Chains A and B, each alone.
Chain A
Amino acid sequence: MQYHSPESFAQAARLAAEAEGVTRFLAGGTDVLVQLRADIVTPDTLIDIKKIPGTHDITRNGDGSWTLGVAVPGAELGEHAGLVADWPGVVEAMNLVGSTQVQGRATLTGNLCNGSPAADSVPAMVAASMTATVTGPDGERVVAVEDIPTGPGRTSLARGEVISALHIPARGENAGDAYLRFIPRSEMDIAVVGCAVNLRLDGDTITEARVSLGAVAPTVLLVGDAAAAIIGSTLDDAALDRLAAAASAACKPIDDKRGTIAFRTEVAGVLAKRVARIAYARAKGEIIKGHHG
């Protein structure tokens, strides 16, 4: 295994494009090292992107949007008061990944590129309409987060392409986001179902919403029907029931060691309601901490 630590994304992309065999980018390493250790994937080329300038930065842009360096670990997101105030759902989703120790390393970008349908941060990023800058041998492009994963362990990134930054839109007024997942223990598990909601209010009425689900299909789902179920409502019981039904209806899960089809389908609806209530309260200006914040 060849180890490289380039000093620019252009150089990283070039290394990846020219490398033979299996190439992996190393950010937090919490997936790459596990796969290496277990002989699941031993890359021929490992490109550590943490020495590239800017990869550790959290930047609030002039228009209120955010740019996140690709090597910022979850713990640093959680410690950034401004980011937590704007996008508590994105931060709490990332902070649910693994342990305190894992939070010291694991990154949003890594969680995304690992391609796990159960990745906690991905539904929250999708609900937040986040985008990624992708640097390749031929330059840069900007891609919606939901277009990156294409199936378990697979992404739409071409050979030589690497995510070089993540972007969150400006938060704007009267809006809130939230993420919850179901796991059997209180910590340390992979999501059996995950759900994120991002919404905006006009008075008490929801005017915009995005609802996404994790671990219920081969990739993260952006569920338009679920958003439609609550847009125009005040999140009354009937709207919540419609939301739950739409979320459950969107599920295309599998039976596996972590959960059954019936369980995932049912709990997706339960979570959607709970998450929507939190997002709604946040949009109203309430401070609601993550489940163990």
Chain B
Amino acid sequence: MALDDRKSDGFTFVGTRPNRPDGLDKVTGRARFGADASAPGMLHGAILRSPHAHARILRIDTSKAEALKDVKAVVTRADFSDKVEFAPGLEGDFWNILENVMAGDKALYDGHAVAAVAATSALAARDALKLIEVEYEVLPHVTDVDKAMLMDAPVIRQGAADYSVPEGMHPNVVRKHESGHGDVEAGFAEADLVIEDHFTTEATHQGYIEPHACLATLGADGKGELWCCTQGHWIVQKTCAALLGIETANLRVTASEIGGGFGGKTTVFIEPVALALSRKANKPVKLVMSRSEVFRATGPTASASMDIKIGMKKDGTLTAAQGTFRLQGGAFPGGPADFTAMCAFAPYNLPHVRQVGYDVMTNRPKQAAYRAPGSPMAAFAVESVIDELCNQLGLDPIEVRLKNASREGTKASYGPRFQRIGLVETLEAAKAHPHYTAPLKPGQGRGISCGFWFNHGGETSVSLALSEDGSAQVMVGTPDIGGSRASMALMAAEVLGIPYENIRVTIADTATLGYNDVSHGSRVTYASGLATIKAARHAVEKLCERAAKKWGIPVDAVKWENGCAVPSGPNAGEFDPLPLADITADMGRTGGPISGHFEATPEGAGVSFATHIVDAEVDPETGKTKVVRYTVVQDAGKAIHPTYVEGQFQGGAAQGIGWALNEEYIYGADGRLQNSVFLDYRIPVASDLPMIDTVIVEVPNPGHPFGVRGVGETSICPPLAAIANAVSAAAGARMRQLPMSPPRILAALKADG
């Protein structure tokens, strides 16, 4: 462990490991998640979903359902309904979201919502769905990314492509990204060995344990209340208001405790439907997805088909790299092909590099962000080829990566030069870790991989209010997914100099704080943390002003130290330190309440890198893989609460293990999802995993007052490749397709043997 409770870095609170403020609520069952709310007179909603992958909706007859006494509202998008439930005339992203939450002319994937009911009980709502008659004209469908690009593929939607797609491509190709520098052909000519290979990954789901849930109230006066589990309630507010045709400020959204998101709760699915039902029924409506609905109709990640070509000299120097990345993002534009391309070669200093990404539509659910969207699959393909180059040239994989690693000043594969980054430090720490040199047993293989993610800032508002007794309330707008209340309180305590326990952090609703971007892009500790620090500093300025006034000296002669106003130097005068609580005790009579604020869009989220080491054991007779040892090394910039940083590292690794070995969306020939339950969508269980060791590297981010870099996403970038490299070593056969399921590994063993 790189950090402990001994403080040697000038921080008092930051870097310690106190208990999270919401711990008690969460171990006693008291914490209220999305489905835990209810309201007087509440109705229960349910959604009817298309059983077809692609079908024209010819007719929807809701009359039998509406005739039921228990049914209070039915909504559809149908133009032939008397009243349009959703706002007409939407364009762009809002139109795409509306089309996704309730199908228009066509059902675009198995599970696409086509109608919804609100009834007096959940059972009554489910029963009512069975009485809704939908007449479909089933259309040809396509769910595979490569097939969707073929000229004879069914067209999901004409005209969805943007400016970037060259003429002559299939209409399902909706965006193209191309970047790089140098002359890759010249670079390949300089290489002693060039490897070119093809890789695929399947779509995986974020797999949060809490299904989407909300409780909506919308009256005829256009004023609404919405409670929901979301990674960002302001985006919910903005989107729902647009889809329902009401003013944003008239919809107040409160974020419940959130049972996991990983990117999948950064958009809306059921919330606009619940609001529409509520408006029609004039009663509160609770809508909760089943697990099957979560799998069929919320964002999995994109699947990918990738071609990689990399050249290396005998001494391990990379000469050139080229990649083509085709990402399948479901029935709407948005597959993260651009990020896949931009992240692919970011860890390496390459004189010649070219990357091309294609965003391709298929008859699958609209992909949603999943932890570093696009980057893990790129790392899988690229780091597999680098591993193979090292194998064939007899080179140490960490030495080769160190030799070519991006550093401060390196021209990134995606364009600009890197600022201070910590890739080399993670590689050095991995090399020094006992894991890297530990002996392997027969049948085991070791793999390593690097990973990269950009991280994000985003709009951020924080308000901090002091109480008369000297305690502080911090209101932030980013839902706490994994202990961020604790990090915020630590940063506020650091600035204010008051005990961690005297600070209460609340996730404010949309009516009580300014706009906040979603909890995504690993931005919470970075951006809400920066905002908390600045809001606390703002309050400290005011505290210093009160002290200056009391002492009769200029404010610039007062400084803040250990929770007290003190004279800034001998010339300022002789005054005893004035503790925060002494100032706040009579603040009402010395100028009024003291609060601090921050509202801005921080632009300094430092990019981050990680290096993972993994040992895998393959059963040669069955192809079954067991991950026997795992070590995550990642640059956190500065770990505010190291325990929760470790938790992010471990969680990312575990999700990566699932993605690499067992998780996948399986579609039948009929275009229907075959594994929409946890029984067959196989996320890792406790007995599948070893302990996951962590090393926190700290190369401070110059864009954050305490040096924080986001840590949530980078941790899922290296695992796919690291595990593939370990399995390939153990099996003696290169694995190019995820998941590396036992049948695939056994087939590879047979082909090789």
* A residues at B contact (CB < 8 Å): 38-39, 182, 184-190, 192, 257-260, 262-263, 266-267, 270, 292
- Asked if residues B747 and A185 are in contact (CB atoms below 8 Å), the reply is no
Q: A258-B680, A270-B621, A270-B622 are in contact. Are A185 and B675 (CB under 8 A)?
A: no
Contact across chains for B679 and A185 when beta carbons are under 8 A apart: no
Given the complex, which residues of A lie within 8 Å of B747, measured CB to CB? 262-263
The 8 A-B residue pairs with the shortest CB-CB distance, nearest first, are: A263-B743, A186-B687, A270-B621, A257-B666, A257-B674, A260-B743, A186-B688, A187-B687
Q: What residues of chain A lie closer than 8 Å to B621, measured between beta carbons?
A: 267, 270
The distance in angstroms between the C-alpha atoms of A190 and B239, with both chains bound, is 41
A-contact 0/1 string along B681-716, CB 8 Å cutoff: 010110110000000000000000000000000000
Q: Which residues of A contact B687 (CB under 8 A)?
A: 185-187, 292
Determine the distance from Cα of A257 to Cα of B680 in the docked complex, in whole angstroms. 8
Report the Cα distance A185→B685, complex, angstroms. Answer: 8
In the complex, A188→B130 CA distance in Å? 31
If the complex has contacts A185-B688, A186-B685, A292-B687, are A263 and B680 also in contact, measured as CB distance less than 8 A? Answer: no
The contact of B682 among A189, A260, A266, by CB within 8 Å, is: A189
In the complex, per-residue mask of B718-753: 1 if CB is within 8 Å of any chain A CB, else 0: 000000000000000000000001110011000000
Nearest chain-A residue to B742 (Cβ)? A184
| B12 at interface, CB cutoff 8 A | no
The answer to whether the Cβ of B661 comes within 8 Å of any Cβ in the partner chain is yes
Q: Are B624 and A184 in contact (CB under 8 A)?
A: yes
Known A-B contacts A266-B746, A270-B622; the reply to A189 vs B679 at CB < 8 A is yes
CB pair B743 A182 closer than 8 Å: no
14 extra A-B contacts, CB within 8 A, seeds A184-B661, A260-B743, A262-B747: A182-B622, A184-B624, A184-B682, A185-B684, A185-B685, A186-B685, A187-B688, A188-B679, A190-B679, A257-B666, A257-B680, A267-B621, A267-B746, A270-B621
Contact B743 A262, beta carbon cutoff 8 Å: yes
List B310-329 residues whose CB lies under 8 Å from chain A.
none
Does residue B250 face the partner (Cβ distance < 8 Å to A)? no
B662 at interface, CB cutoff 8 A: yes
A187 to B683, CA, bound (A): 11
Determine the chain B residues whose CB is within 8 A of the CB of A187 once the complex forms: 685, 687-688
Q: How far is the CB of A114 from chain B (nearest CB, A)?
A: 13
- Contacting residues, chain B, for A263 (C-beta < 8 A): 623, 742-743, 746-747
For the complex formed, measure the closest distance between the CB of B738 and the CB atoms of chain A, giving whole angstroms. Answer: 13
The reply to whether B622 and A267 form a contact with Cβ atoms under 8 Å apart is yes
Residues of A within 8 A of B292 (CB): 38
Contacts of B678 in A (CB 8 A): 188
For B126, B741, B743, which residue has the most chain A Cβ atoms within 10 angstroms? B743
Q: How far is the CA of A259 from the CA of B674 in the complex (A)?
A: 13
Among residues of B, the one whose C-beta sits closest to the C-beta of A190 is B679
Which chain B residues lie closer than 8 Å to A38 at the CB level? 292, 677
Residue of B nearest to A39 (CB): B126
B683 → A minimal CB distance (Å): 9
How near does chain B come to A242, taking the closest CB pair, in angstroms?
17
Which A residue's beta carbon lies closest to that of B676? Answer: A38
B674, B680, B743: the one contacting A190 at CB < 8 Å is B680
Residues of B within 8 A of A190 (CB): 679-680
26 pairs, A vs B, C-beta closer than 8 Å: A38-B292, A38-B677, A39-B126, A182-B622, A184-B661, A184-B682, A184-B741, A185-B682, A185-B687, A185-B688, A186-B626, A186-B685, A186-B687, A186-B688, A188-B682, A189-B679, A192-B742, A257-B675, A257-B680, A259-B743, A262-B747, A263-B743, A267-B742, A270-B621, A270-B622, A292-B687
Question: What are the residues of chain A within 8 A of B746 when measuring CB–CB?
Answer: 263, 266-267
Chain A nearest CB: distance from B472 CB in Å? Answer: 43
Q: Is the CB of B680 within 8 A of A185?
A: no
CB distance from A20 to the nearest CB of B (A): 19
Chain A's closest residue to B686 (CB) is A187
Main secondary structure of the interface of B (DSSP, over half): loop
Contacts of A182 in B (CB 8 A): 622, 624, 742
**Contact mask B90-128 → A, CB, 8 Å, 1/0?**
000000000000000000000000000000000000100
List B contacts of A260 (CB < 8 A): 743
Inter-chain contacts of A184 with B (CB < 8 A):
624, 661-662, 682, 741-742
The answer for the CA separation of A209 and B162 in the assembled complex, in Å, is 68
B641-667 contact mask (Cβ, 8 Å, vs A): 1 or 0: 000000000000000000001100010
Give the shortest distance, in Å, between B123 (CB) and chain A (any CB). Answer: 10
Cα separation A18 to B623 with both chains bound (whole Å):
51
CA distance A24 to B662 in the complex (A): 34
Query: In the assembly, what is the distance between CA of A21 and CA of B626, in Å?
Result: 47
Query: Assuming the A-B contacts A270-B621, A270-B622, are A188 and B685 also in contact, with contact meaning beta carbons closer than 8 angstroms in the complex?
Result: yes
Per-position binary interface string of chain B over residues 615-641, scored 1 when its CB falls under 8 Å from any chain A CB and 0 otherwise? 000000111101000000000000000
A188 cross-chain contacts in B, Cβ below 8 A: 678-679, 682, 685
How far does the Cβ of A126 sit from chain B's closest Cβ, in whole Å? 23
Q: CA–CA, A277 to B295, complex, Å?
A: 41
> Which B residues are CB-close (under 8 A) to A292?
687
- Residues in A with CB closer than 8 Å to B743 are 259-260, 262-263
Q: Which residues from A are CB-within-8-Å of B674?
A: 257
CA–CA, A39 and B290, complex, Å: 12
CB-nearest residue of chain A to B673: A257
Task: Write the chain B residue with the least CB distance to A182.
Answer: B622
CA distance A263 to B743 in the complex (A): 6
CB distance from B750 to the nearest CB of A (A): 8
Q: In the complex, which residues of chain A have a beta carbon less than 8 angstroms from the beta carbon of B682?
A: 184-185, 188-189
Q: How far, in angstroms, from A60 to B95 measured CA to CA in the complex?
A: 68
Q: A73–B623 Cα gap in the complex (Å)?
A: 33
Q: How far is the CA of A184 from the CA of B746 in the complex (A)?
A: 12
B475 CB to nearest A CB, Å = 39
CB-defined contacts of B688 to chain A, threshold 8 Å: 185-187
In the complex, the chain B residue whose C-beta lies closest to that of A255 is: B743
Chain B residues in 8 Å Cβ range of A259:
742-743
Do B622 and A185 have beta carbons less than 8 Å apart? no
Task: Provide the residues of chain A in CB contact with B685, threshold 8 Å.
Answer: 185-188
User: Least Cβ distance of A1 to chain B in Å?
Assistant: 10
Closest residue to A189 on the B side, CB-wise?
B682
Shortest CB distance B350–A (Å): 37
Residues of A within 8 A of B661 (CB): 184
In chain B, residues 159-202, which have Cβ atoms closer than 8 Å to a Cβ of chain A?
none
By beta carbon, the residue of chain B nearest A38 is B292
Question: B300 CB to closest chain A CB, in angstroms?
Answer: 16
Cα-based distance from A39 to B51 in the complex (angstroms)? 14
- In the complex, chain A residues whose CB is within 8 Å of the CB of B680: 190, 257-258
Find the B residue at minimum CB distance from A99: B685
How many angstroms between the C-alpha atoms of A218 and B279 in the bound complex?
51
Query: Bound complex: CA of A257 vs CA of B661, how far in Å?
Result: 14
For the complex formed, measure the closest distance between the CB of B464 and the CB atoms of chain A, giving whole angstroms. Answer: 44
A254 shortest CB reach to chain B, Å: 13
Residue of B nearest to A244 (CB): B621
CB A54 to nearest CB in B, in angstroms, measures: 32
A192 to B746, CA, bound (A): 14
Distance between Cα atoms of A232 and B746 in the complex (Å): 32
**From B622, B623, B678, B747, residue with most partner A Cβ within 10 Å:** B622
Q: Which residues of B contact A262 (CB under 8 A)?
A: 743, 747
Complex CA distance for A32 and B746, rounded to whole angstroms: 35
Whole-angstrom distance between the alpha carbons of A191 and B674 in the complex?
17
Q: How far is the CA of A38 from the CA of B679 in the complex (A)?
A: 13
Complex Cα distance A202/B586, Å? 94
Q: How far is the CA of A27 from the CA of B427 in the complex (A)?
A: 56
B741 CB contacts on chain A under 8 angstroms: 184
Closest chain A residue to B741 by CB distance? A184
A277 to chain B, nearest CB (A): 13
Give A259 to B743 CA distance when docked, in angstroms.
Answer: 7
Docked complex Cα distance between A63 and B626 (Å): 44
Chain B residues near A185: list those with CB within 8 A.
Answer: 662, 682, 684-685, 687-688
Residues of A within 8 A of B624 (CB): 182, 184
- Give min CB distance, B264 to chain A, whole Å: 22
A38–B622 CA distance with the chains assembled, in angstroms: 33
Q: Which residue of B lies closest to A267 (CB)?
A: B622
Interface centre among A39, A184, A186, A266 (most CB of B within 10 A): A184
